[in-house]
């Protein structure tokens, strides 16, 4: 069974309790979140580019 055959996990984000975190820990957490956002935005851009390329390839002439 390949990874593509496995069910996708639900995208559930449970934010941690931040009350006991120090400033340095909070800044590190923000940096981690920003990196993850950039990774997600990159994946979105790649999928959109792939979709545009497929649409251009399969577009009927004159359409």
Alpha carbon distance 49, 43 (integer Å): 10
Tens digits of residue pLDDT in 4-55: 778 877 788 899 999 999 999 999 999 999 999 999 999 999 999 999 999 9
Which phi and psi angles does 29 have, rounded to 5°? -65, -45
Which phi and psi angles does 23 have, rounded to 5°? -60, -45
* pLDDT for the residue numbered 2: 75
Model pTM above 0.85: no
Q: Is the pLDDT confidence value at 63 over 70?
A: no
Q: Is the pLDDT confidence value at 62 over 90?
A: no
* pLDDT for the residue numbered 1: 63
Alpha carbon distance 49, 56 (integer Å): 11
User: What are the domain boundaries of the chain?
Assistant: 25-63
Alpha carbon distance 24, 30 (integer Å): 10
């Amino acid at each position: 069974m390949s990874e593509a055959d496995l069910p996708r996990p639900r995208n559930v984000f449970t934010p941690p309790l931040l009350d006991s975190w120090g400033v340095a820990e909070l800044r590190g957490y923000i940096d981690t979140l920003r990196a993850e956002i950039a990774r997600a935005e990159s994946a979105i851009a790649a999928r959109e580019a792939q979709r545009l390329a497929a649409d251009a390839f399969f577009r009927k002439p004159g359409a």
